[in-house]
Amino acid sequence: MDRSDRDHAASFDLLRNSNEQLLVPSPVLMEVDWLIRQRMHSGVLIALLDDIAAGAYQITDLLAEDYARIREITGRYADGGIGFVDAAVLAITERLNEPKLATLDRRHFAMMRPRHIAALELLPV
C-alpha cells in the first residue's frame, strides 16, 4: 500500500499477477490498521476496506480450534518473538493446507515449521 516501501513493487506484482483467491487472516487486519495509522493516512484504510467489500480479498477468520494451535506456536517460538498474529497466520495456513504464504516477515516465518509441509513457500520471492 505504501509506494515508497522498498518491497512495494514485488508485493504489487504478486497481487496483480495472482490467479488465486487472496486470503487474508483476520488478525492481520489489526496490524495493517496500525501500520496505516503510523505511516499513511486514513484514506488508505478506506481503500483497503473498499477492496475487501468488492471481493478483492477474502477475510479468513480464526476458528475455535485454531486457538490451541496458536498457543502451541507461541509457546514453542516464544524466544523467537512470535506473537499472536504470526501464530494465527501459521495456524490458518496449516488448517487450509496451504503451501504458500505472502509475507514480508521472512525472519519469523522462515523460523517456524508448519505441521503440513516441511517449509512454507514464502512470497514474494
User: Tell me, which fold does domain 8-123 have in CATH?
Assistant: Rossmann fold (3.40.50)
Place of cell 505504501: 2
Tens of pLDDT along the chain (125 residues) come to 667 777 677 777 777 888 888 899 999 999 999 999 998 888 999 999 999 999 999 999 999 999 999 999 999 999 999 999 999 999 999 999 999 999 988 999 999 999 999 999 999 87
Domain ranges of the chain: 8-123
- Cα 64 to Cα 41: distance, rounded to the nearest angstrom: 34
Q: Does this model's pTM top 0.85? A: yes
- Cα 101 to Cα 16: distance, rounded to the nearest angstrom: 16
